[in-house]
Structure formats: C-alpha cells, structure tokens
Amino acid sequence: MLPRNEVALDDQWNVASLYKSHEEWKNDFESNFPSQKNLKWPEMAAFQGKLGSDLNTLKKALTFFLTIQRKIERLYTYSHLRHDEDITNDQYKIAHQKIMGLAQAFSSESSWFEPELLALPSEIIDAILQSPDLKEYRFYLEKILRMKSHTLSTENEMLLSLSEKALQVAQKTFSAINDADFKFGNAQNKHGEELPITHATFGLYIRSPDRILRENVFKNYHNTFLSYENTLCELLQGQVQKHLFNAKARKYNSCLKAALYPNNIDLSVYHSLIQAVNENLDTLHEYVNLRKEMLGLDQIHLYDMHVPITKEFDISLSYEEAESLIIESVAPLGNEYKNILYKGLKEDRWVDRYENKNKRSGAYSSGCYDSMPYILMNYKGILRDVFTLAHEAGHSMHSYLSHKHQPFHYGNYSIFLAEVASTFNEDLLTRLMLARSSNAQEKIFLINQKIEDIRATLFRQTMFAEFELMIHDSAENEIPLTPRFLKEKYLELNTRYFGPNVIIDPEIAIEWARIPHFYYNFYVYQYATGISASLALSDRVVNGGSQEREDYLSFLKGGSSKYPIELLKIAGVDMTTEEPVNQAIKKFRALVEELKLLTLERV
C-alpha cells in the first residue's frame, strides 16, 4: 500500500475545495472561535432567560445557534476527512480532536436553550408555533417540543453535554485499535504462498475460488479479534453502558425507545422486522442449500458464503468503468439527477478511491451543508466494490439534493432514511446489468449477487439487530456482558439464521467484536428497513411514470422537513405496515427460484 503522500491527485477526494490547506482551516478555526477561558460564545449566553420575551428575540437566538452549528460542521468535515486519509497523522488527529472539543463546548454552552424553550407557558408556545415570522422553523421547533418529557433542567442538560466527550472513549478506542493497531498477519493459499491480511484484502480473499485461502483468512482474521476478546468485550460494554446511561438520564424505559423516539419511530417497526425475518428463515436456508449444491460441496462452511457460485465466471471492473456504469444505471431518475452524479464522480472528485497505508477501512459518504458530498472507498475492482460505490453514491445524491432544496436546519436526513437511497441505487445497477447480460452464466452471477445483497442487508443486518437488542436488554437487566456470554449468544444466532445444513465455524462466535456498527446505537436495523423500502420504491419508479419518479425525488429533496415515516409515504411506501419487509422477502424467494431454474437450464 502506498503512503498517503504518494497517492495520485485524481484518486483523492477534493477536500481542498473546503479549505485549500490545513493552515487555512486553522486560521478559520481560530478567527471564528478564539480561545477563551470562560464562555466561547457570550452572544449565545446573552439570549438566556429571554426566549419568551418576544418572538424576534427567539428568532435571533435560533439564527445565531444554527449559524455557529453550521460553521462547526464545516470545520469538522474537513478535519475528519483528512484524519481518515491517514489516521496516524498527528496534525489531522490533533485538528480532529480540537474540533470535537469545540463541538462539545458549543453543546455545553447552548444546553440551556431547549429546557428554557420547553419551560415557556403554553400560550407563548402556541404563539411561537402560529407565528408567520417563525414559519420556516415550525417543524424544527415542534420536534424540540415533542421531546419535553425527555429534556432535563438546564443544569442537568449541561452535565450531560459535558459527559459526552468522556463517553466517546469506547467507540474511539475501538476505531483506533481496529483501523490502525491490529495486525492480522498472513494467510496461506493452496500453493503455500503467504498473503497479507488487511480489512480490505479480507473482503477480497473471502471471495477467492481458492478454498484453502478462504478458510485460512477467515480463521486468522477472526482469531486476531479472539486474542483481544476481553478488551473488545469491555469496549462494547462501555458503549452499551453509554446508551443505557443516556436512556435512564432522559427517562426512557429502554435504550431502544431512546434511540427510536426522537425520529417518531414506533418500537413495533423494530420488533416486527425481527419477527418477519425469523418467520421466513426457511427461505434463507433454502438458498444456502442451493449455494452448497452449486459449489459442489459436501459441507458448506461460513467461509463459503461469499465466493461466486459460477466458478468459470466473475466480473471485475476498473474504477473508471464502475463510475460510468453507475452513472448510466440511474437513468430512470431523469437527466438532472444523472448529470449531477456525472459531474460529481467524473469532474468534481467526490471520491477517495483506493486503499493507502493507514487509511480508514470500509466505505462511507460524508460532507456537510456547505461542501460537496465526499465518498471514501477502498476500491479493489471486484463487483462488490462496484455496488459499494453505487451505494455510497446514492447516499451522496440524497445529501446533495437535500442540501440544495432545504434550509440548513432541515438539510440532513435522519438515519432511518439513510439506507433507502443507497440500496435503491444498488437495485438500479442490478437491473441495468441484468438487462445487458448476454448469457446464462452472467445472469446466474448477477442474480446471485442480488440475492447476496438482500441476504447481507435484510437477513444479516436483522441478525445484527437481534444481537444489538439482546446486549442492551441484558445491560438493562443487569446481566454482565462477558466474552463467553457474547460468543455463546452470537453463535446461537448464526446457527438459527444459517440453518442446520451449514457448518457453523467456531471462529464466527467472535465476529461481534469486529462490527463497528454495534457502537452506533441501534443503527443496523435501518439497513434492513431501508432495503425493504428501496426495493418497493425501485419497482414503483421503474414500472411507473413521471409522477412516481417525482414522488421519489421529492423524498430525496425532503431532508428532515418531516418525520422519516411521513417522507417515505410521500415517496410511496408505508413502513408502519409489515408489507415492505414481506415484499422484500418475497423478492428474495423469487430470486432464489429463478436461480434454481437457470441452474437447471444450464445442466
């Protein structure tokens, strides 16, 4: 892997469009937020105790609050992008820590705002919500007022904000040890060659037709985490205790309720997802058996779950080819959408393309209201990477359109909506590639890829959601989280989900220790609900007309101007019902049947 300073400019995201240099970032930081021992924002403090005096004062306070927040987000975006390019770079590590500290200070100094607003007499609150001068903030204020029973006194809100930096230690420590400190050694292939294991190459090797390599990399990779099981268990437990502390402090009866309530998501959405998937695990078991047959295996192991089932056929694309294919695939969303994506990928350098030494692993879409979208990739040329790029481009276009059509305070969409646009674009890519496929082998490959997408996003993430709920329930009931307890529970889940015909390799018991999303506070279930919504919406747009397309684009432009369930209804799907999840499972079942038929035809 190249060191960061040797990566070609065209392969880097254009962070310089935010700040031309670190020095420019530093000057902006210091000019906007000079070091002060006491209050950093005395202007904010000047509004305290006066929010109910008149509507104009409240509007000025809101404007000031959001202006500072916007500046901090811009500074934060630059620092975190630079940090992730090389997480060992001290200059950017310090910058990242400084802006995180500033954000915490702002949270502390403005922590009085919501309690004071909620303490106003009902007649004043009614006047605020009905005021034409505050119309642009009405839903923003309604969301604050809805949180009244879970908002504390000014003093206690300040204490909570002061605790946030300390409560980030578990997640930050996991990120540091996982992304920089772990050394996974090598894995031997069938020729006796030693191949180096990294996060990125693990994803590559586990798809290799060399079964000896797959087995060795699977075991060596997971055994690295196993050798640190006590440390990793304590870190995960620390994060769960953070969630439990915040839930109790804010008077929620569970961590799940605390995570879902702010976005007005009913608990039934989470529980019905788990129930629907568990009622249809036979569909997953049927696919696993088919995979076993197609690979010609006497026994199928977990390290056999990612290798392409067509030995004589695989698809790999250069990065430039992947970009062009993804841009073409979004044609059903109209020329404007397609042209914006073309410019972002081909001209404006939204993407940081390849792995380099000490670069953060994985992939994501980032950015802020005042920046272009940014996409982190570790592209290796396999088809999975092409779909990952399509996925992150979906996120980025969602952000682009939300920022363009909403004011700053509605510019960011909720996490519940995040995985809809991304998996929608993956489905469009699948449709294009299937329409172009020229032979049965290619169709088998692509259909299996789609099956794998749904398996990984609906079934696997729901399994993760079950595990996440279990560890939080355990903490709430004062059941200690020990390595043995976590491994046993995780092994039980894998056994149930994969079924009786799969060899559940013991190394999988430690997989919980390597999943960063378990630190994100009930994030993973939204992958499953997101793909369920996106598959329904993809069918609706592709099979519909201009109105269906505009409904979907209106959803992408909506930001957080309504609650997530309401925005999805605008797009054309109702997630308060079980129908979207059941339809996604039905589609999975139909794809498995189609794969069977194609296999028989080939024979």
Q: Could you tell me the two tokens for 421? A: 């646009």
- Cα(83)–Cα(91) distance, integer angstroms: 9
Q: How far apart are CA 268 and CA 278, in angstroms?
A: 15
Sign of CA dihedral 417, 418, 419, 421: positive
CA distance 378 to 363: 7
Question: What is the Cα–Cα distance from 383 to 316, expressed in whole angstroms?
Answer: 6
Tokens, residue 497: 């989900």
Distance CA 548, CA 541 (A): 5
Alpha carbon distance 55, 378 (integer Å)? 50
- The active-site residue out of 392, 419, 466, 468 is 392
Q: Is 392 a catalytic residue?
A: yes
Residue tagged 């489905």 (tokens) = 427
Q: What type of residue is 34?
A: P
Helix (H) or strand (E) holding 503: strand 502-503
In this structure, are residues 478 and 338 in contact, taking their beta carbons and an 8 Å threshold?
A: no
Compute the chain's Rg from CA coordinates.
25
What single-letter DSSP state applies at residue 352?
E
Distance CA 141, CA 14 (A): 35
User: Tokens in use for 56?
Assistant: 């104009």
The DSSP output letter for 336 is H
Q: Tokens at residue 591, please? A: 């794809």
- Pairwise CA distance, residues 461 & 527, whole Å: 7
Can you tell me the distance from the alpha carbon of 429 to that of 431, in angstroms, rounded to the nearest whole number? 5
CA–chain centroid gap for 267, Å, is 20
Q: Which residues are catalytic?
A: 392
